[in-house]
Chain A
Amino acid sequence: MSNTIQPEALTFECETGNYHTFCPISCVSWLYQKIEDSFFLVIGTKTCGYFLQNAMGVMIFAEPRYAMAELEEGDISAKLNDYNELKRLCLQIKRDRNPSVIVWIGTCTTEIIKMDLEGLAPKLESEIGIPIVVARANGLDYAFTQGEDTVLAAMAARCPKQVLEVEKEAKNGIQKLLSFGRKKEEVAAEKSEYVNHPPLILFGSLPDPVVTQLTLELKKQGIKVSGWLPAKHYTELPVIEEGYYVAGVNPFLSRTATTLMRRRKCKLIGAPFPIGPDGSKAWIEKICSVFGIEPQGLVEREEQIWNNLEDYIQLIRGKSVFFMGDNLLEISLARFLIRCGMTCPEIGIPYMDKRYQKAELEMLEKTCQEMGVRLPKIIEKPDNYNQIQRIYELQPDLVITGMAHANPLEARGINTKWSVEFTFAQIHGFTNARDILELVTRPLRRNNALKDLGWDKLVKEEAKV
């Protein structure tokens, strides 16, 4: 960590795109849980079904509100009529589950055979009386978490345009939650805790506890969150009027952001994402600054969180981390870990939206400069084979990677952390910073426990290179 390194700017490279990641249809697994009155219908083949069945593990046995519309040979060759087939299945879903919305997930196959889901949906919707939202979350175009982006972008179009006067009070889910069971005067008193600012909508699917935490965090600054895309129920999608402000909570939501700006005429607050105490502070600061609010107590709060993390940070300070890249959280996580004192030679990432992630990239650059470490190489569409050669060369202390490579790397004495856990763990806001480090330090803590056993390389020398 010498101060002699003076990097100029981040470098971006693009490799072959031969990398391992989850198919974007995996987003149904967390979205059906988040949107409690939804039903997700994935229109695809056995391959899609097999992936979901295996990737979702035990969740599949909990009678999930998702199913495959499994395409058969007759569907591919258009011997069967798409509309009639979908109608039959959707009526069955309506009968058995009666959801408030059916989300159709288009897949690679529906793309290739050019099934006009967007065209069929409105017709069928009016015929069966349930909203049908179409999201093309396919592996031809997107990776893993981008699936959520396609669904939320489609949902953005369904958000009500105007608040009905009568409903104004009841509509707001968050408000309702906070004032639950309290008297009117108290609620009225609470209202004045907010500064007068234009409505703010946050977008990105987070577990309910994290939604509450971030909402309270902004409330401390007098900022009221008027709504959240997605809400707990489809029927509670927030009102979005022209001129509303919106802010993203996750780095993979660029289509949703674009849709909110172009279609719904919202103003996007471009901020780093609230991952890590540094990111959380920057996120809140940016929102405050847009509304002309002087943030209160944020510096102390950040410092206090950092102090609480010290025992974990000691384990990783000065160590290096390599992101193979598969879920688009990589930039934010790297930025946080560098602030924790790690070095990071390479950040692999499936797709890099330099506009949507602008503030995050700037913060990464700034963090590197302040910590006096070399700027990482950002590799878009990485090539896993090449990456593994680089990992052998660099011998990083930790590789954040998918399950396909984790065990083989561990057997070769390289510490790994399974990347997908970062998508499902609660990692946002001040409160959850420790959970991120809990994940990151786990392999290091495990290896500290085993370190005297001499068992770090468990494969025989390979005959060939």
Chain B
Amino acid sequence: MKLAYWMYAGPAHIGTLRVASSFKNVHAIMHAPLGDDYFNVMRSMLERERNYTPVTASVVDRNVLARGSQEKVVDNIIRKDREETPDLVVLTPTCTSSILQEDLENFVERASQDTKGDVMLADVNHYRVNELQAADRTLEQIVKFYIKKAKKKGDLPEGKTEKPSVNIIGISTLGFHNQHDCTELKRLMADLGIEVNEVIPESASVHNLKNLPRAWFNLIPYREIGLMAAEYLESEFGTPYIDITPMGVVETARCIRKIQQVVNAQGANVDYEEFIDNQTLHVSQAAWFSRSIDCQNLTGKKAVVFGDNTHAAAMTKILAREMGIHVVWAGTYCKYDADWFREQVSEYCDQVIISEDNGEIGDAIARVEPSAIFGTQMERHVGKRLDIPCGVIAAPIHIQNFPIGYKPFMGYEGTNQIADLVYNSFTLGMEDHLLEIFGGHDTKEVIHKGISADSDLNWMKEAKAELNKVPGFVRGKVKRNTEKFARERGILDISLEVMYAAKEAVGA
């Protein structure tokens, strides 16, 4: 047992649901008690999704505990197959179903005899893997399933596409700026003359998975999701994969050079050096930003970085290598993949912190007092408490991290966005600092513009106490309305009763 207030990565089933619901026409059925379908709320709220989240629960209740859930699960799968005719139903175990130890595999078998669509059981152990690992695994599982199916039916397409092509693997729902990154990556590929063969799982159809082997290579933009699928495709079809995240100017160039190498090895004859040069020097503003006086002012400023592997590693490199900022420590909550992180960032920061404990991270921030933090929403709130600005670079995230405007983190437009994010975080801190040096905001109390500036009315003690409970931003309004009400009725003493009567009268 451990005492926990907050977690960075969610439970395993969230990862499975993220992958399943990213695909088109795939339905996930959770084997879970009432209330565990909170994923739907998150997707509907955070992603502002117009469509119903294709996730339902086969509810585990007392009756299920007594009788077993076979009948119910099988019925629910068959019912969903009829109602929505999905291509695939993914039965998703939760922590509850893990300990019930029912033979879900068998239920899937039974149900699939009566369904038009395919049915599979997500193979994730709740107590061993987290959201990210589960997502990686589920994606691999679905890819494998449909490759095997196509092989068996003999309709696996032969050979590669005519022109160099790529599968972009790992774009998913509820991922940090994933939609924007996806658009930016597609644009980058188009600029490089590379066809996008498939993007999975986001908006992909399972019917197209059999086309995956036709790509010349696979691009895995995120460390956390897609690697297992890429490894499988490599072992099965020899498709090479590139797992360099094109985030930041240097890493984007490195990724593009790797693409060049991979496609040239397969007979293409491309040279991207000029493209990289042109983008770096003239299109993206990030390289110029590094030379500008703005960025000069940031030299040696202290920052800390915390997030998932992909974003924390990329940000650390950008801050240290491209902006000359002093990264005191960089950290990740991807404990299971800590070695990779260490290897990536060790030379760019003084210290590496691997932790899933937000308290430990908060303390580490307080200890070094950086000028800016780059972290998750949790670090943003730590920053608020300590009065240190924070740029959010990784999940867990809130609704404001699902912007409507175009905000990729990847590719050349991504470098611009990141430069803004970094610069804005630091200057905000600078601005506050200057305000303090020069005596702060004008703090003279604003003269009451209400009708009851100097009160001839007597606020009785309990009413005054009640008024103080009213949130600050409406307190003035409540006070004015109450006094207006009292004055109109010739009441001199404002008691609790008067206060409520006033509220009823004006409805405010």
Residues of chain A touching chain B, judged by Cβ–Cβ distance below 8 Å, are 17-25, 43, 45-47, 49-51, 53-55, 57, 60-61, 64, 66-73, 75-76, 80, 85-86, 88-89, 92-93, 108-109, 111-113, 138-144, 177-178, 180-181, 208-209, 212-213, 216, 304-305, 308-309, 385, 388, 402-408, 411, 430-431, 434, 458-459, 464
User: Which A residues lie within 8 Å of B100 (CB)?
Assistant: 112
Contact A308 B33 (CB under 8 A): no
Asked if A140 meets B65 with Cβ closer than 8 Å, knowing A45-B95, A50-B11, the reply is yes
User: Which A residues lie within 8 Å of B42 (CB)?
Assistant: 54
Known: A46-B7, A108-B60, A408-B52. 7 other contacts (CB 8 A): A47-B32, A86-B1, A89-B3, A109-B95, A209-B466, A406-B44, A408-B50
Contact digits for B45-57, partner A, Cβ 8 Å, 1 yes 0 no: 1001111110011
B118 to chain A, nearest CB (A): 17
Minimal Cβ-Cβ distance residue in B for A207: B469
Stretch at the interface among B104-112, B195-203, B497-505: B497-505
B246 to chain A, nearest CB (A): 30
Tell me how many residue pairs across A and B have CB atoms closer than 8 Å. Answer: 189
Asked if A407 meets B48 with Cβ closer than 8 Å, knowing A47-B94, A140-B33, A143-B35, the reply is yes
The SS class assigned to the A binding surface is helix
A360 to chain B, nearest CB (A): 23
User: Which B residues lie within 8 Å of A408 (CB)?
Assistant: 44, 49-52
Minimal Cβ-Cβ distance residue in B for A429: B500
Cβ-neighbour of A64 out of B5, B7, B41 (below 8 A): B5
A65 to chain B, nearest CB (A): 10
The 9 nearest A-B residue pairs measured at CB:
A23-B35, A139-B33, A404-B40, A411-B50, A61-B381, A85-B1, A46-B11, A45-B95, A139-B35
User: Which A residues lie within 8 Å of B48 (CB)?
Assistant: 407
Q: Indicate whether B91 reaches chain A with its CB closer than 8 angstroms.
A: no
Contact A403 B35 (CB under 8 A): no
Contact A17 B38 (CB under 8 A): no
Contact A68 B95 (CB under 8 A): no
B73 to chain A, nearest CB (A): 12
Q: Which of B292-328 contact A (CB under 8 A)?
A: none
Minimal Cβ-Cβ distance residue in B for A408: B52
Contact A209 B1 (CB under 8 A): no
Contact B497 A50 (CB under 8 A): no
User: Which A residues lie within 8 Å of B381 (CB)?
Assistant: 61
Contact A23 B34 (CB under 8 A): yes
Contact B1 A181 (CB under 8 A): no
Contact A404 B41 (CB under 8 A): yes
B244 to chain A, nearest CB (A): 31
User: Which B residues lie within 8 Å of A92 (CB)?
Assistant: 3
Minimal Cβ-Cβ distance residue in B for A113: B99
Q: Which of B393-408 contact A (CB under 8 A)?
A: 396, 398
Minimal Cβ-Cβ distance residue in B for A181: B461
Minimal Cβ-Cβ distance residue in B for A26: B35
User: Which A residues lie within 8 Å of B99 (CB)?
Assistant: 76, 109, 112-113
User: Which A residues lie within 8 Å of B237 (CB)?
Assistant: none
User: Which A residues lie within 8 Å of B58 (CB)?
Assistant: 18
Instruction: List 7 A–B pairs whose Cβ atoms lie within 8 Å, in order of A's numbering.
Output: A54-B41, A66-B5, A88-B1, A139-B33, A308-B504, A385-B83, A430-B504
User: Which B residues lie within 8 Å of A89 (CB)?
Assistant: 1-3
User: Which A residues lie within 8 Å of B59 (CB)?
Assistant: 17-18
User: Which A residues lie within 8 Å of B52 (CB)?
Assistant: 388, 404-405, 408
Give Cα A80–Cα B2 distance, bound, in whole angstroms. Answer: 12
B94 to chain A, nearest CB (A): 6
User: Which A residues lie within 8 Å of B60 (CB)?
Assistant: 108, 140
User: Which B residues lie within 8 Å of A18 (CB)?
Assistant: 56-59, 76
Contact B1 A216 (CB under 8 A): no
Cβ-neighbour of B53 out of A19, A45, A404 (below 8 A): A404
Contact A50 B462 (CB under 8 A): no
A407 to chain B, nearest CB (A): 5
Give Cα A295–Cα B22 distance, bound, in whole angstroms. Answer: 60
Minimal Cβ-Cβ distance residue in A for B384: A61
Give Cα A290–Cα B342 distance, bound, in whole angstroms. Answer: 72
Contact A411 B51 (CB under 8 A): yes
Contact B500 A46 (CB under 8 A): no
Give Cα A88–Cα B2 distance, bound, in whole angstroms. Answer: 9
User: Which A residues lie within 8 Å of B461 (CB)?
Assistant: 180-181
Q: Indicate whether B10 reaches chain A with its CB closer than 8 angstroms.
A: yes
User: Which B residues lie within 8 Å of A73 (CB)?
Assistant: 127-128
